[in-house]
Amino acid sequence: MTAAARTDALLARVADQLRNEPDRIRPILELLVDPDALPTGEDERAEVAATARRINRARQAQLSAAFVSDSLSTEDVRALLGGISRQAVSERVRSGRLLGARLGATLRMPAWQFGPDGVVAGLPRVLAVLATRGSAVAAQAWMRTPIPDEGGRSAADLVIDGELDLALHYLHAAAH
């Protein structure tokens, strides 16, 4: 996905939030446009900080929910990988051979990493690029972002469809 496409998608989400919650979002946008216009009163600063924390918590909750809805449990992965142990699955995540996140007490792995025969071909190359994205939840969101030039398919869709080089092209372009 190009930088312009990512910007357009972000602005569309911001516009939706602004329409849905104008009293909450407008002050934050005004600060972004004019950082020198910081609230002067203690109450105003506290309100802006509280609003920013609420927005961030909601964003994190959305990302976590999306991650869970499109991921597999350790038991699912064990079955896909021929009945390997729970410890072996955890070790693959810990060593970076699988993308996964512990949400609460549960380890979850994005489903796009697996095909009917186990791990998809070329997964180490994809994971090497995703290692620059920080958390597994952020990497999953990145992998599931629609690519306009591909008819809305995501990098994860491309990997699943066996178009690894094309997926890597978009991932590298988005990383820079």
Residue 9 neighbours by CB under 8 Å, 6+ apart: 1, 145, 146
Q: Which of these three, 68, 89, 120, is where a domain ends?
A: 68
Picking from 68, 99, 121, the residue at the C-terminal end of a domain is: 68
The band of 87, judged by pLDDT with boundaries at 50, 70 and 90, is very high
How high is the pLDDT of residue 157?
Answer: 96
Do 83 and 161 fall within a single domain?
Answer: yes
Ordered strands of the 101-103 beta sheet: 71-73, 106-110, 101-103
pLDDT at 38 over 70: no
pLDDT at 72: 96
What DSSP character marks residue 120?
P
- pTM flag (> 0.85): no
Percentage of the chain exceeding pLDDT 90? 48
Give the model's pLDDT for residue 39: 61
Structurally, how many domains does the chain consist of?
Answer: 2
Whole domain around residue 40: which residue ranges? 3-68
Are residues 33 and 98 both part of a single domain?
A: no
Pair (30, 96) in one structural domain: no
Residue 146 is predicted with a pLDDT of 94
Domain boundary among 68, 91, 117: 68
Average pLDDT estimate for 18-41: 75
Structure tokens, 163: 């178009």
146 phi-psi bin (left φ>0, alpha ψ -120 to 50, beta other): beta
Q: In Å, how far are 59, 93, 129, 146 from 116, measured between CA atoms?
A: 33, 20, 24, 24
| Res 27 pLDDT > 80 | no
Which residues lie closer than 8 Å to 84 by C-beta, 6 or more apart?
Answer: 78
